[in-house]
Amino acid sequence: MIHHDIATLRRLLDEADHVCALTGAGVSAESGVPTFRGDGGLWRDHDPTRIATIGAFRRDPALVWEFYNWRRALVRSVAPNRAHLALARLERRVPDFTLITQNVDGLHPAAGSERCIEIHGSLWRVRCTACRAVYEDRAEESAGDLGPAPACARCGGLLRPDVVWFGEPLDPLLWTECVEACTACDVLLVAGTSAAVQPVASLALEAKSRGAVVAEINVEQTPQTRYMDFVLRGRAGEMLAALAPED
């Protein structure tokens, strides 16, 4: 039986020792970050899913960096929304809290989330294709624009965004952390995700199989809706703010 009662879910969160949250593009969309899925999900007539690949980077790194410089500038202009802030509040109230995000915009840490696993990487980190060094680079002096061929500060090699591109594997250590957190939690909140990207989408059903209460918070139905214990239909900011109101 699927429940829709916010008050009951809030009580379960208050009583839980270990809570997980899994967020997707729908959460960041409320801050004005494009989802790149569905209608209008294009950039300069390019399909972003064809740009965000290692093959595209090898063929035309300047085009890929133009896309990511545009994304960095866009994210720099937006702020965390009510969903980000509510999850940061929830973290401070729950003894053991883990936030897993598929988003690469850094808005969860900006909102104050400290226990945040950025499973798909971050726009604000770069990785050297030569020496493999990974470090943060926000390029404050250039509003986030690293240019068409940014060079590694350590060896001079070509940098790439430290994100997981389509067709690339997840970091196995981070993935293990995600699985361990979801299989141990009492409640899992799944917010703003289409449940279409694997293997991350599998975490909700894995948590449920281990006895967790799983709640879907989304504006529309997903392939996993029928398996949920709770379904809150609406914008993530409104629903999460109701679950974790300000003191």
Is 18 part of the annotated catalytic residue set?
no
List % helix, strand, coil for the chain (3-state, nearest 5).
40, 20, 40
- For residue 203, give every residue at least 6 positions away whose Cβ sits within 8 Å of its Cβ, in sequence order, or none: 22, 100, 178, 179, 182, 188
**In this structure, are residues 102 and 119 in contact, taking their beta carbons and an 8 Å threshold?**
yes
* Residue 61 C-beta-side C-alpha neighbours within 13 Å: 14
* Residue among 78, 70, 137 nearest 111 (CA): 78
How many CB atoms sit inside 10 A of residue 230's CB? 20
Q: Which of 3, 18, 46, 120 is catalytic?
A: 120
Contact in structure between 14 and 220 (CB atoms under 8 Å):
no
Active site residues: 120
